[in-house]
């Protein structure tokens, strides 16, 4: 109700505005000449439950990892691989966040949305959300604001996804349990990624490119150890590997740099402007394009 009232106010109706979540996936290249809206819609409500599954509606303003921790503590399976991803629940649907072989869309049933142009609320079922790798219909329609997300998790122990990254290796010797998988994911992320409270970053800056088989074959002729995953539409090659092969790991341009533990992360080493980070992004893109013929696409939302 407050969201509807705010957007009808005279001082906002004729102004440029931007709705954000926690802001952890945004790069501002300068001051934003408009109004920033940030959801504080909270709440976690069980809407259906039986012996095998549970459906939970979560407010868009809830911290994502708080929800994952809650699900694990309840013994609900499905979201554990998405532990410690920064941001909020509303953005999880917009961005279709993912890690270690799992994406948000794997556990989303529907998304509640407010259409700012029509002034109406509606429920978008998963089948119409156009979820894709780090994208959704919500990303293509910025006049829609996510209000809440309905998730479905299983209550019966499922097949854990351990074959991405070094999850299975790090699980060696540990009891296979929901909590241990979550804690292992957290340990891996902390070892590879800077904490936002300690060093500014936007997490994984680039999407992992999916290339044609012929492109992969050409790269493999020159780099026998190129890592890859076969996916629908071609071969996915880790962007971090491509960036590292171009010598960017740990390098800086001005005060913007490439994180020494994970080259997919661009960091602010202190006082870097949005323009500096953008310049670093473009230099990395050009290096990878020149060496491999692949144009890396940013995963981060760039606000110009």
3-class DSSP state for residue 185?
helix
- Annotated active-site residue in 57, 134, 182, 189: 134
DSSP for 218-273, please give it.
HHHHH-TT---EEETTEEE--HHHHHHHTT-TT-EETTEEE-SS-TTEEEE-SS--
- Annotated active-site residue in 62, 112, 152, 299: 299
Helix (H) or strand (E) holding 282: helix 274-292
User: Residue 250: how many CB atoms within 10 A of its CB?
Assistant: 12
Q: Which residues is 236 bridged to in the sheet?
A: 210, 229
Strands (E), 116-255: 120-125, 144-154, 200-204, 210-211, 229-231, 234-236, 252-253
Known catalytic membership, residue 299: yes
Q: Is the CB of residue 185 less than 8 Å from the CB of residue 83?
A: yes
- Annotated active-site residue in 136, 148, 201, 204: 204
Residues marked as catalytic? 134, 204, 299
């Amino acid at each position: 109700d407050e969201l509807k009232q705010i957007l009808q106010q005279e001082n906002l109706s004729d102004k440029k505005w931007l709705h954000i979540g926690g802001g952890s996936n945004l790069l501002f290249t300068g001051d934003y000449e408009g109004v920033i809206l940030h959801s504080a819609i909270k709440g976690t409500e069980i809407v259906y439950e039986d012996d095998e599954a549970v459906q939970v509606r979560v407010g868009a303003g809830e911290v994502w990892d708080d929800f994952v921790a809650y699900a694990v503590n309840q013994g609900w399976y499905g979201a554990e691989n998405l532990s410690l991803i920064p941001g909020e629940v509303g953005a999880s649907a917009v961005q279709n966040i993912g890690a270690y072989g799992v994406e948000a869309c794997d556990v989303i049933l529907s998304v509640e949305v407010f259409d700012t142009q029509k002034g109406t609320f509606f429920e978008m079922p998963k089948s119409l959300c156009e979820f894709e790798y780090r994208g959704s219909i919500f990303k293509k329609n910025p006049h829609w604001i996510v209000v809440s997300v309905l998730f479905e998790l299983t209550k019966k122990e499922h097949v854990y996804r351990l074959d991405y990254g070094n999850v299975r290796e790090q699980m060696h010797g540990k009891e296979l349990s929901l909590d241990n998988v979550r804690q292992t994911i957290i340990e891996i992320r902390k070892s590879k990624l800077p904490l936002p409270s300690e060093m500014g970053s936007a997490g994984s800056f680039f999407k992992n490119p999916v290339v044609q088989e012929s492109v992969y074959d050409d790269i493999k002729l020159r780099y026998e150890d190129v890592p890859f995953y076969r996916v629908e539409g071609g071969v996915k090659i880790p962007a971090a590997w491509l960036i590292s092969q171009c010598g960017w790991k740990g390098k800086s341009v001005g005060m913007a740099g490439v994180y020494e533990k994970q080259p997919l992360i661009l960091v602010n080493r202190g006082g870097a402007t949005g323009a500096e980070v953008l310049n670093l992004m473009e230099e990395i893109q050009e290096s990878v394009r020149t060496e491999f013929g692949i144009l890396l696409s940013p995963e981060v939302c760039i606000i110009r």
